[in-house]
Amino acid sequence: MKHGVWLLVGAAMTLAASSAGAQKPAEARGPDAAGPAVFSSSSSLSAKGQAMSAIRYPVTRRQDLVEEKFGVAVADPWRWLENDVRTDKEVEAWVEAQNAATARYLATLPGRDILKERMRALYSYDRYSVPRKAGSRYFYAHNSGLQNQSPLYVRDGLHGKERLLVDPNGFARDGATALAEWEPAPDGRHLVYAVQDGGSDWRTLHVLDVDSGRMLADRIRWVKFSGLSWDKDGRGFFYSRFPEPEEGAAFQSLNRDSRIWYHRLGTDQSADELVYATPRHPGWNHAAEVTDDGQWLVITSSEGTDPRYEITVIALGEDKRKPRTLVRGMDNEWRFVGSIGSQMWFLTDKGAPRARLVKLDAARPGRKPVEIVAERADTLAGASMIGSRIVLAYMRNAQSEAELIELDGKRAGDVPLPGLGTAAGFGGKAGDPETFFHFSGFTTPGTIYRFDTSTRALEVFAQPKLPFNPDDYVEEQLFYASKDGTKVPMFIVRKKALAMGRVAAPTLLYGYGGFNIALTPGFSPTRLAWLEQGGVLAIANLRGGGEFGKEWHEAGRRANKQNVFDDFIAAGEYLIDNGYTGKDQLAIEGRSNGGLLVGAVTNQRPDLFAAALPAVGVMDMLRFDQFTAGRYWVDDYGYPDREEDFHILRAYSPYHNIRDGVDYPAILVTTADTDDRVVPGHSFKYAAALQAAKIGGKPHLIRIETRAGHGSGKPTDKVIDEFADSYAFIARWTGLAIRPIGPGKRD
């Protein structure tokens, strides 16, 4: 089964709704300290008239480490903090000491417990994943509200009784072991699923007999960044993995030598068949998908994060599985949509920056693609073959639109979306007209819809009951001018009373701006808790993202990266100049690449922001490619070992550009000890540099989650803990007064 058109993808999916929180650590001190160091200002501090004592930070050992690169002396005094916290006792002690100092401060924040309880209430609603159909069965995840992980269920028939298949809440006592990817066999008799421990990107695969619920003995280890795709008969599945890392290096080693394997049910992993590898290109990554008719294996190869792929096909019915290169060279995006026999439909940006739909013949590689749907003004974000038609998902100004076409490209009508927001899903297969999609908005929790592509009939599959009134809020989209005059879209959400009274209020500005990822409307209980208190939420669709196709992405990557920071700074200035917020009322937040964004703009315009939340950020732009998945990011950032790129990266790297003698906003850095995507050393070094610099009297703290990763798989209670802490922190420094909101009250 194709998983379909997902308009919310990648790192932007984390946002505020799917990130982790922390358990409160025990008191500890740094390894070199006879006592904690005094924070740079010894006088009492104040914010919005509330006094507080000077913060005392733990001592961080400083190395005398300076390296010359391309004629530039680069100091790296806290490089030892790159070491793995699981194996380095000094780093472990530093983490404990920092967490203890942060916990002491957070415990003083007014409204923190109120936010936490309200977030729990707002999370307490039924959440469903988009169902996947296999045979006559329907598989989906369903969280009753406050479960740490979402259990997997199955129905026999659309209206059959819900039956529990896998409950990940029993995997670990702390709730930090998650059910990750899963895929039913075509006949629905077996299910392969991945287990993710502590938020790591590493996976272990298991297989379940769906009839009995019995787990088979099959185990596949050291899987990462892999799709799961069954053969036609359900006798086995294809997956990709890296070689087993050296002992002790699992969380920091570079990911190289991806290979496609086939596992036959009932056999040991050692007997798995190697299907495809590129030993001459160990940096390439490979993902495999079996066509709906089982005739072909489609292998998509990539080298970095840019959507530039080489496509290889293997005829599965032949005695010898000989790879054939269908699209050679990683120059463009080629996203498999579906097939009929050897005819294959692809979404591509070749000759079309906002993408088009084309057809290729797998039996005749090398022929020019046949255009089915030409490029349009709106961005073609995805396509999926369902039944005898194709669903096209377009993005217009960062919002979803969808339509149906025949296989030859002739228009068959619109997909009746329920309003303005984000549609995600549309999985299915050729020959079966049934599909499902998830629809949500900023104040609209996700509803699952069932859609028939032959009749265009739409019905609700699952819809949550709301503990708040969406009508109390107003959403608007506007365009503002960036530094160079480029018009950038921004969503703004706030209470109607604020909008009607034109009242300036504490505002949270969120951004990402990278990797061709679009920020589209989506529901977050943690953000709603901020809005309920009278805060404003702003989402800026910065260059570098995927909102307007390839050109928008190109305008915010590599040598153009400063455009992203200029766009974000201009968004903050617009919010202040136009009365949405006041000068001392603006907080900023970003995660992953967005954490880099927050760190960079805080260095460039510390006067503009009252508070900052850089989360799981890429903070050392001169060494990001030395760890785990960091080597992929050169597509967006450039190569630190190339002189031209080095000077660009050095100019905005958050770790290297903290400015002594300038007052900085209050900063709460957040990361996790098992993040093997953006290793926590980025945030550790950045926080150490902040605390050592003379940047004013506001707090500059770090909150380090234990047994949590980059974003996926984090338990609900950790999400709530982190965002209660984070939003109480920015409320304190933007002047947002937190007040109780009763259970079930529609405020």
Which residues are annotated as catalytic? 592, 710
User: If you search the block for the tokens 């979402």, which residue do you land on?
Assistant: 150
User: If you search the block for the tokens 């009242």, which residue do you land on?
Assistant: 503
Half-sphere exposure of 217 (CA within 13 A, CB side): 4
* Whole-number Å distance between alpha carbons of 546 and 9: 10
* Whole-number Å distance between alpha carbons of 649 and 656: 10
Helix (H), strand (E) at residue 491: strand 487-495
In whole angstroms, how far apart are CA 143 and each of 148, 149, 245? 8, 7, 34
Cα 538 to the chain's mean position, in Å? 18
SS3 at position 318:
coil
Query: Are 162 and 155 a contacting pair, CB within 8 Å?
Result: yes
Query: Are 650 and 656 a contacting pair, CB within 8 Å?
Result: yes
Take residue 347 and report the two structure tokens written for it: 């979404």
The single-letter DSSP state of residue 156 is E
Q: What are phi and psi of 496, to 5 degrees?
A: -60, -35
* Whole-number Å distance between alpha carbons of 488 and 512: 13
Strand partners, 447: 439
Q: Which residues contact 554 (CB under 8 A, 6 or more apart)?
A: 560
Strand partners, 237: 230, 263
* Whole-number Å distance between alpha carbons of 157 and 139: 10
234: left (phi over 0), alpha (psi -120 to 50) or beta: left
Nearest to 720, CA basis, from 15, 149, 128, 117: 117
SS3 at position 473:
strand
Number of H helices, E strands in the chain: 11, 44
User: What's the one-letter identity of residue 611?
Assistant: A
Q: What are phi and psi of 596, to 5 degrees?
A: -60, -45
Query: Are 521 and 440 a contacting pair, CB within 8 Å?
Result: yes
User: What's the one-letter identity of residue 639?
Assistant: Y
In whole angstroms, how far apart are CA 615 and each of 12, 380, 568, 702, 710? 12, 30, 16, 10, 9
User: If you search the block for the tokens 């400015």, which residue do you land on?
Assistant: 659
* Whole-number Å distance between alpha carbons of 646 and 654: 14
Helix-strand-coil percent breakdown of the chain, rounded to 5?
Answer: 20, 35, 45
Q: What are phi and psi of 347, to 5 degrees?
A: -90, 130
Take residue 638 and report the two structure tokens written for it: 């450039």
Cα 59 to the chain's mean position, in Å? 33
Cα 574 to the chain's mean position, in Å? 27
User: What's the one-letter identity of residue 429?
Assistant: K
User: What's the one-letter identity of residue 504?
Assistant: A
**How many residues are there in the chain?**
747
* Whole-number Å distance between alpha carbons of 594 and 589: 7
